[in-house]
Amino acid sequence: MTKTFDQWVAEAEAAAFSGWDFSFIDGRWWEPPCPWDYQALVTGMLKQATSLLDMGTGGGEFLAALGPHLPARTVATEAYAPNIDVARKTLEPWGVTVLGISPESMHAHPLQDAVYPLPLADRSVDLVINRHESFDAGEVARVLAPGGHFVTQQVGARDFEAINRRLGSPLPLAEWSLAGAQEQVQAAGLQVVQAEEALMTAGFKDVGALVYYLKAVPWQVEDFSVNRYRPALEALHREMSTEGPFLVQSHRFLIIAASAADAHANFELADDEGS
């Protein structure tokens, strides 16, 4: 039997979300892979790394998948409070230190979400990875050891913007793109060695999957609630029931940058390890 709008919504709102696990809506939405393979790129660079920082580790799922390849000296940061304990439990078997970033330490950025100082000593880590986390390019350059590398895959401004347009909500990260990020990285003194950008078709097959996504990713529509956007969601439900999936665009870009190789630095945590 086909579910009603209220049934889809009630199911989505009752479902728990932890870490960065979207398995609850497996088969009900899709997001295509990027033209590049972020995990393969990082795995290849780990062969030369003696120390690693993962910015915005989420629930630690990505690092855990790299477990056997991780350097003995590996640290991760996480600013989303519900994920900090999840990440610590996930990464404990691999000896990874997870540093919680307090809201008080974060500050506004003109193009991204809030950024934060990295709780590491100067020139102390030879590989910084960042998948979908805001970053201060100056801070990344500060903690990178000479000859170190920064690998980041970012979510661009046009990501899933069709959702915001259909709901009538403001667009997030209005100008965040490869060009702006590359300019900041270079201004921080890092040399960009690879840069790519892609727009890809993604989609949701039912309104419940969309509601679950918006509950799990609250920064897409910051004031989201079903009641606030009910008329638009009901219209989308009718369309998906008769015309098929609601199609959106996924916007990603990749930057790999290097610091100048002029000396060697040891890995250290800063005095304040966060919460």
pLDDT (tens digit, 9 = 90+) per residue, 27-39?
999 999 999 999 9
Q: Which CATH superfamily is domain 5-258 in?
A: Vaccinia Virus protein VP39 (3.40.50.150)
**CB neighbours of 170 closer than 8 A, spacing ≥ 6?**
164, 222
Cβ atoms of residues 60 and 98 within 8 Å = yes
**CB neighbours of 114 closer than 8 A, spacing ≥ 6?**
106, 107, 108, 134
| pLDDT for the residue numbered 73 | 95
Residue 9 is classified by DSSP as H
φ, ψ of residue 58 in degrees (nearest 5) = 65, -130
**For the chain, percent of residues with pLDDT exceeding 90:** 78
Give the whole-angstrom CA distance, residue 217 versus residue 165: 16
| pLDDT for the residue numbered 258 | 97
**For the chain, percent of residues with pLDDT exceeding 70:** 93
To 10 degrees, the CA torsion angle through 253, 250, 20, 144? 10
| pLDDT for the residue numbered 60 | 95
| pLDDT for the residue numbered 117 | 93
- If pLDDT is split at 50, 70 and 90, which confidence band does 263 have? very low
| pLDDT for the residue numbered 270 | 54
State yes or no: pLDDT of 274 exceeds 60: no
Range in 113-117, 180-184, 193-197, 212-216 the model is least confident about: 113-117
Mean pLDDT of 57-65: 94
Calculate the average pLDDT of the chain: 91
- Is 110 or 193 the better-scoring residue by pLDDT? 193
| pLDDT for the residue numbered 174 | 66
Q: How far is CA 247 from CA 6, 19, 101, 253, in A?
A: 22, 25, 35, 20
Give the whole-angstrom CA distance, residue 27 versus residue 32: 13
- If pLDDT is split at 50, 70 and 90, which confidence band does 272 have? very low
| pLDDT for the residue numbered 104 | 86
- Is 108 or 205 the better-scoring residue by pLDDT? 205
State yes or no: pLDDT of 111 exceeds 90: no
* Identity at 71, one-letter amino acid code: P
Give the whole-angstrom CA distance, residue 185 versus residue 206: 39
pLDDT single digits (tens) 134-175: 999 999 999 999 999 999 999 998 999 999 999 999 876 668
Q: Residues 128, 132, 138, 139: is their CA dihedral positive or negative?
A: negative
Mean pLDDT of 53-74: 94
* Tokens coding 16: 């728990």
Angle at the Cα of 13 from the Cα atoms of 7 and 17, rounded to 5 degrees: 135
Strands 125-131 and 144-155, sheet pairing: parallel
* Identity at 153, one-letter amino acid code: Q
Cβ atoms of residues 143 and 267 within 8 Å = no
Mean pLDDT of 89-111: 90
Nearest to 46 by CA among 67, 60, 32, 28: 67
Sheet of 29-30, strand order = 29-30, 191-204, 246-258, 144-155, 125-131, 51-55, 73-78, 97-100
State yes or no: pLDDT of 273 exceeds 60: no
Strands (E), 18-63: 29-30, 51-55
* Tokens coding 3: 């579910």
* Identity at 257, one-letter amino acid code: A
